Structure 1
């Protein structure tokens, strides 16, 4: 039997023309949507979701292009623009009866959540972003030898063809590399969950590459337009990060403060997969956020 979030029900919900998202839904109370990162699926939230479901309606979708959600063919940058993916999440919540909701994302999901906070300020009540920088800032600070840690960003930014061919030739080695490298505690991702992540990624190479390609193009354009216009998320924002900002030579908290006027920035002692490695810390931060 495939892994699932205990006690949650699963639905496929249409969110755009020809695109439905797979979503796990559980609990009751004020809604919060949790968005996964790379190279994962909604299962990364399995510990956090069950805790929050004690007093919240918790919605954990697979993003467009990932997991069991639909994977439309890339037709220009807009197909996997974070603006498009954020609109998916707003449509998903609305289909479940929620016009306003809190939103938390990790890694790629955090970029989608951040874009939702910018594009849908009347809809997103609270925003949490885990272990990521806004796209524009990420490209501005990645330089020199330290940029080697982000080699995959540059690989998947290339025009269609070569990245898909290279990654598709050995997907388990490629995606497994990040599961191994970014986890301080490998026990946090047990064998059945790891296998589920690899299986999902194996079947989604073109769409995952398209998601990253968009972040080297149209997503930067959207962030630049917002920066020039002074557009910032007005809702309370919590950012959880490892101490990788100092290691790479920049102040991550300072970068986030330029975007978020109501910010709580927290350094978490764990690897990248903090919802799996330090779920109690993540739950505590999200619960604090929801009181603001």
Structure 2
């Protein structure tokens, strides 16, 4: 029993970080009563970088900014409740260490328990001298293989077309349940194309100039289902799952190395070459836009046009209007397996929260049940959860390093570029457009009345803008 208590105490310690007040003397208010109020409020606010520390305990720059914000509000006469409400209005309920108990904050209330469980999992994993257990893809049933043939996928093997261990020992693909798959692209051909990442899944249709559509985080190629068929009336359209997403292979990775946007851009080049196109236009949303930006910088002769949807050149440029998105990106970039373990406790809930809060009206209506089911199915695989986190680790690491090096060298995107952004998330549109002018020589753009998921929330407006540009 004593040993059990010692073990529990050790695990509990993992959920409580070592604390040391980070408040600097210069930050304190001269009035002791006002300073006491500020300390009381600060002790209730979460550091969005350190996650489990209050802003008083954290020396992160963002925590210092929040402490300053609290004191500025107190100095202008705001009550404690008004200060808290002001901070929550900018950062969401997540900024409260004790958020209001409601369905959308349930995960926050369970976070200490999840960290405890995650810590136990980490200790167990270390004891077993392994960080990731690779699941063996299950074989497809006869019904699933028939469904693949209906979708036009050639050479589907018993593992669902995924690379076998003999073919690509460092790449994996969990077999989706294709027997009940909805065909979002009637008439589109399906392809699994060999790349350095393993097999990349894509679909194609149409005639005319080639256009590649790349999705964002939480989504798959079906993010373009509302506009792809319409574009295919004028263009040869390719929708593709990024490596680690949807039905594409999942390369092994640590510290984001296999999910560098430079490598993902090379996947796109390989796919388009395999489909017969050396040059093409590219439309990218969110993570797909980051791939498009990297491709334009690395392979300027490959692109004829580049459209970037709802993205800033660097992640921190997203702005105050969508701080939950910034916080989620920071969280997912933390060292493995911390975010993986927490997300795996409720992957569907994590994804649904991200999708719903990213829309203008905070609703899931733009996605529809069939698309949500497909997104959640892709998000449920532990290997893919790790891949998603590796994507963001790359964004905070190697991707940012390469972009800053390009900026220092004066490198720019020379292909004609269109920027479309959410009017809800980027209300100060001139600043976003100006930030992109530092990167693109030939730039135009417009706001779309939408949240983050432009092609799903406002497909007609996006289609009109793209057709006028492409």
TM-score, normalised relative to structure 2: 0.58
Matched, 1:127 2:306: yes
> C-alpha offsets along residues 209-252 of structure 1, whole Å, 9 cap, x if unaligned?
100111010010010011011111101100100122336x9821
Q: Which residue of 2 aligns with 1:253?
A: 433
What is the CA–CA distance in structure 2 between the aligned matches of 1:36 and 1:195, rounded to whole Å?
Answer: 17
Counterparts of residues 155-170 of structure 1 (less than 5 Å): 155-170=331-346
Q: Which residue of 1 aligns with 2:256?
A: 77
What is the CA–CA distance in structure 1 between the aligned matches of 2:316 and 2:343, rounded to whole Å?
Answer: 22
What is the CA–CA distance in structure 1 between the aligned matches of 2:420 and 2:430, rounded to whole Å?
Answer: 16
CA contact (8 A) 1:34 1:61 kept: yes
Identify the match of residue 24 of structure 1 among 196, 200, 203. 203
What is the CA–CA distance in structure 2 between the aligned matches of 1:47 and 1:128, rounded to whole Å?
Answer: 17
CA contact (8 A) 1:45 1:275 kept: yes
The structure with higher relative contact order (CA 8 Å, sep 6+) is: 1
Matched, 1:272 2:449: no
Q: 1 or 2, which has the higher strand percentage?
A: 1
Q: Which residue of 2 aligns with 1:219?
A: 399
Identify the match of residue 139 of structure 1 among 277, 296, 316. 316
**In structure 2, do the counterparts of structure 1 residues 59 and 146 end up closer, same or farther at CA, with 3 Å as the change threshold?**
closer
Identify the match of residue 379 of structure 2 among 189, 201, 207. 201
Identify the match of residue 40 of structure 1 among 219, 225, 228. 219
Q: Which residue of 2 aligns with 1:64?
A: 243
What is the CA–CA distance in structure 2 between the aligned matches of 1:177 and 1:42, rounded to whole Å?
Answer: 20
CA contact (8 A) 2:255 2:335 kept: no
CA contact (8 A) 1:242 1:268 kept: yes
> C-alpha offsets along residues 5-58 of structure 1, whole Å, 9 cap, x if unaligned?
222111100121x51111011111110000001110000101211011012110
What is the CA–CA distance in structure 2 between the aligned matches of 1:166 and 1:130, rounded to whole Å?
Answer: 29
What is the CA–CA distance in structure 2 between the aligned matches of 1:101 and 1:75, rounded to whole Å?
Answer: 31
Q: Tell me, which stretches of 5 or more residues in structure 2 are unaligned? A: 1-179
Shift of 1:187: 2.3
Shift of 1:69: 0.2
Q: Which residue of 2 aligns with 1:94?
A: 273
What is the CA–CA distance in structure 1 between the aligned matches of 2:420 and 2:265, rounded to whole Å?
Answer: 20
What is the CA–CA distance in structure 2 between the aligned matches of 1:146 and 1:27, rounded to whole Å?
Answer: 36
CA contact (8 A) 2:319 2:426 kept: no
Q: Which residue of 2 aligns with 1:116?
A: 295
What is the CA–CA distance in structure 2 between the aligned matches of 1:207 and 1:235, rounded to whole Å?
Answer: 30
CA contact (8 A) 1:27 1:57 kept: yes
CA contact (8 A) 2:206 2:235 kept: yes
Q: Which residue of 2 aligns with 1:187?
A: 365
Helix, strand or coil for the counterpart of 1:134?
A: coil
Q: Tell me, which stretches of 5 or more residues in structure 1 are unaligned? A: none
Kindly tell me the number of residue pairs found equivalent between the two proteins. 285
Matched, 1:263 2:443: yes
Larger-gyration structure (1/2): 2
Helix, strand or coil for the counterpart of 1:265?
A: strand
Helix, strand or coil for the counterpart of 2:263?
A: helix
> Runs of 4 or more off by more than 4 Å in structure 1?
140-143
Helix, strand or coil for the counterpart of 2:365?
A: helix
Q: Which residue of 1 aligns with 2:466?
A: 286
- My pick for the range that moved more, 27-36 or 269-278, is 269-278
Helix, strand or coil for the counterpart of 1:239?
A: strand
Shift of 1:149: 4.2
Shift of 1:64: 0.3
Helix, strand or coil for the counterpart of 1:188?
A: coil
**In structure 2, do the counterparts of structure 1 residues 27 and 141 end up closer, same or farther at CA, with 3 Å as the change threshold?**
closer
Compute the RMSD of aligned alpha carbons: 1.8
